[in-house]
Structure 1
Amino acid sequence: MPRFLTLVRIDERNAPTDAPGPEFDERMGALFEEISKAGVMLDTAGLAPTAEGTRITWSGGKFSYTDGPFTESKEVIGGYSISRCKDKAEALEWAKRFLEIHPEHWDVTVEVREIAEG
């Protein structure tokens, strides 16, 4: 079965400051339990803010380093998951269910891409 990488994209500059509440944590925990029991979830995590990151660029045979935050970026990767699904449709369905748990006033985007295997 193919593996899929789901990238969670957020706008760090306009991220919600309100905590989503205990019901959010309960719903997310239930989804993670379900997806894990189904044997789909291989790994998932949130990422530290871009202020703690560094970009390395290779151009013209030289490296350049840029420390975060990356203010020129509207959206950044805030988290990821790696899943094993029967097809892209199943991967998209899990991603949709993940998004539905978030409060309606939050703006969250996910990008689902199949991992190229040999």
Structure 2
Amino acid sequence: MRFMMIVKATTDSEAGEKPSEELLEAMLRYNEELAKAGVLLAADGLQPSSSGVRISYPEPGGKPKIVDGPFTEAKEIIAGYTLIEVKSREEAIQWVLRMPDPHGKGQGEIELRQIFEPEELSVNEETRAKIKGQFGL
């Protein structure tokens, strides 16, 4: 089972404030633990939404709408993520609970979401095989 730990942004992260050296070291130790346990697939911090672009599809079949950042609600913005593969939801939760406060100031919030597996997306065997092949699953 794959899960994404979604680290929510704060006003500081949206302002481009970098994490402290202590927090960086704590996160590096945490990522090393994940890697040693064989569950880490990816982990990255994201730049503030001011450097982002949002593309939406307001009408079916219509032209996409492009909006440059920054975006308004910091708590709805993603500041980073960690992608893990574990045996259960409970194991994923335990890994989240071990993560240091991602912003180091008591403002951290992490959302845990399970990722769909190819067999959950389609009943068509050929489509599932294509999905697995495309993403190396």
Secondary structure of 1:59's match? coil
**CA, structure 1 residues 96+114, in 2 after alignment: closer, same or farther (shift >3 Å)?**
same
1:117 corresponding residue in structure 2: 117
Larger Rg: 2
Q: Which residue of 1 is the match for residue 83 of structure 2?
A: 82
TM-score (norm 2): 0.72
Moved over 6 A (4+): none
Pick closer, same or farther for the CA change 1:101–1:45 going to 2, 3 Å: closer
* CA shift for structure 1 position 19: 5.0
> 2: CA distance between counterparts of 1:53 and 1:18?
17
Specify the code of the residue in structure 2 equivalent to 1:113.
R
State the Cα deviation string for residues 56-92 of structure 1 (Å, max 9, x = none): 0101222111100012x23110001110011111111
1:6 matches 2:5 = yes
The percentage of counterpart residues that share the same residue type is: 34
Structure holding more strand per residue: 1
Could you say if the C-alpha distance between residues 86 and 9 of structure 1 is closer, same or farther in structure 2, counting changes exceeding 3 Å? same
Distance 1:115 1:49, change over 3 A: same
RMSD: 2.1
Query: Aligned residues, how many?
Result: 113
Residue matched to 1:106: 106
Deviates more, 1:25-34 or 1:55-64: 25-34
**Counterpart in the other structure of 2:124:** none
Larger RCO (CA under 8 A, 6+ residues apart): 1
Contact 1:10 1:107 in 2 (8 A): no
CA–CA distance in structure 2, aligned partners of residues 49 and 18 of structure 1 = 10
State the partner residue of 1:52. Answer: 51
Give TM-score scaled by structure 1 length: 0.83
Structure 1 SS opposite 2:99: helix
Runs of at least 5 residues in structure 2 that lack an aligned partner in the other structure:
119-137
- In proportion to residue count, which structure has more helix? 2
Give the equivalent residue in structure 2 for 1:93.
94
